[in-house]
A and B are shown apart, each in its own frame.
Chain A
Amino acid sequence: MADYLTNDPDLWNAFRRGNEQAFAQIYRHYVKVLYRYGLKITPDTALIEDCIQDLFIELWDSRARLSETDSIKFYLFRVMRRKMYKRLTQQSATPYASLDVADALTVDSFESILIHDQEAATYKDRLHQALTLLPVRQREAINLRFFHGFSYEQVADIMDINLQSVHNTIQKAMKLLRAHLATFVLLALTSLF
């Protein structure tokens, strides 16, 4: 993404003073990452789009009350997540159908992906496939930490859980993913003989 937001605080302050251009820039710059983040929580794109709209409308309407903040991105993600979970709870829909099943996931499930889909092109594809089988919270934490580059502390704040839980969640996810990678490496080796 174009890196024209070299100075977050300046842009943020211009926006707080009611500068429409700054508002449009913030939207342009963050709409895609917020959307991608939304997809980690629910596949319902209409709901994601609604939440993004509400987020920016509220952001504009309450701009005068907002504090100086050093990370717009962090702020937006935190509010986005609250909005999404609020909506999902209202609809009493689980974020992903896999939510209940996911806790029962074991290494075996990952092996079965491999067996069912031996054609998957690359290591990367397989990892992403494995990611979709993670419990939603694990996938979300992984996405925030590794793709969006938030610190563990920020992930804890965004997800509204304590720091230790974030560490535990990510560690669990890593165990499952690593097991998957190891199986794949093993298969790759056996196919040599």
Chain B
Amino acid sequence: MNYLSFEPEDFAADAFFIRWVREPDEETETYWQDWLQTYPYKVQDVALARQLVLLLATDTDADPSESAIRTMWQRIQDRKQSDPVIIEHPARRSWFLGISRVAAVVALLVLAAGGFYGWQRRMVTYETAYGESQRIKLPDGSFVDLNAHSILTMRANWPDGASREVWLDGEAFFTVSKKQQQGRPIKFTVHTSDLDINVKGTQFDVSTRKQQTKVVLSEGSIQLRLNERSGNQSLQMKPGDAVVFSKEKQRLAVDHLANPQASHSWISSRWTLDDTSLGEVATMIEETYGVPVSFADDALMKLTVTGIIPTNSLPDLLNTLESILFIKIDRQSNRLIVRAMP
């Protein structure tokens, strides 16, 4: 190659020259040092060309944000074809199915037992098993999406004009229709162990899990009343408000959520996680699927997850967590153990 006629830009575009600048080896080093000694008046051109090559190897554009990376990955996971189910641990599947069957039988028995009461006072109970959710149409036309491992109880007969009441243990999303009797709205009440939620027509999520009761309002308005045991306080909620009552501290905390829909994303068989710690996700898994989760190293509980995770299958959910967080989840017969990737 005759480099004598080269301008700086020609050097900078030359493969052999670029190799020397980027990944010098004996061949390129010897060649270019010799060449510069032979043609010392070219030193400046070569220096300029080197600078061009080096500067162009840098890039000022920003990386995508970590949350964008996770969101994209989540969408990829959602939309890619899922594999045929591979049964790696037959034992695991059997306990899982086993629990569902037992729970289903229990639910039927509970319903049958309801029949012993008089028609007027007859109570109906809906119960979901771990890993299941159910949509229930109430006698007044309202809807309840009952999350996994939850119980909803109500009177079988709802006379016109009488107040509407249900009792909840677990988590549910309510879509309450507006009802009127002689121009006055008929109130709808959700009773939980700590508080009563009074509404007219609205959408909201209630969960009574662990040591706390949580209410998240999507639209409309809610009047919340703590029951006698919890201090009889009352509170008006606006859309987006999230109220958490802690049994242990006997304290009510109000928060405003930018995205209240995230709290009931479980209805569409997915969790919307936003910087949620793996510790919290573990609790959600325990509540939804009834499997205890433990950590080989407590530091792992602090890892956070952002994105939408499908929850219709526990194995898929665990695979997803493993691939985003680079952790290993041991599927033992009756529990899960989270470990760092070996």
Contacts and interface: CB of A to CB of B under 8 A. Distances in A.
A21 B60 contact: no
Q: How large is the interface on A (under 10, 10 to 19, 20 to 34, 35 or more residues)?
A: 35 or more
Given A32-B63, A61-B81, A178 B12 contact: yes
A80 interface: no
Interface string A140-168: 00110111010110000000000000010
A53 interface: yes
A188 B69 CA distance: 42
Interface string B291-329: 000000000000000000000000000010011101000
Given A27-B73, A171-B13, A181 B61 contact: no
A21 B322 CA distance: 8
Given A53-B76, A57-B76, A60-B76, A152 B57 contact: no
A113 to B, nearest CB: 15
B101 interface: no
B261 to A, nearest CB: 21
A35 B48 contact: no
Given A31-B72, A177-B52, A61 B80 contact: yes
Nearest to A169: B13
Interface string A89-122: 0000000000000000000000000000000000
B104 interface: no
B51 interface: yes
Contacts of B57: 146-147, 149
A92 B74 CA distance: 29
A131 B60 CA distance: 10
B93 interface: no
Interface in B32-58: 48, 51-53, 55-58
B55 A53 contact: no
Contacts of B7: 178
B75 A53 contact: yes
Contacts of A52: 72
A134 to B, nearest CB: 11
Interface of B: 7-10, 12-13, 15, 18, 22, 48, 51-53, 55-61, 63-64, 68-69, 71-73, 75-76, 79-81, 83, 319, 322-324, 326
Nearest 8 pairs between A and B by C-beta?
A174-B9, A24-B323, A146-B56, A178-B9, A60-B80, A39-B61, A35-B64, A56-B76
Given A32-B64, A174-B13, 16 more contacts: A24-B323, A35-B63, A49-B68, A49-B71, A53-B79, A57-B76, A124-B55, A128-B58, A142-B56, A143-B59, A145-B18, A146-B56, A171-B10, A171-B13, A174-B10, A178-B9
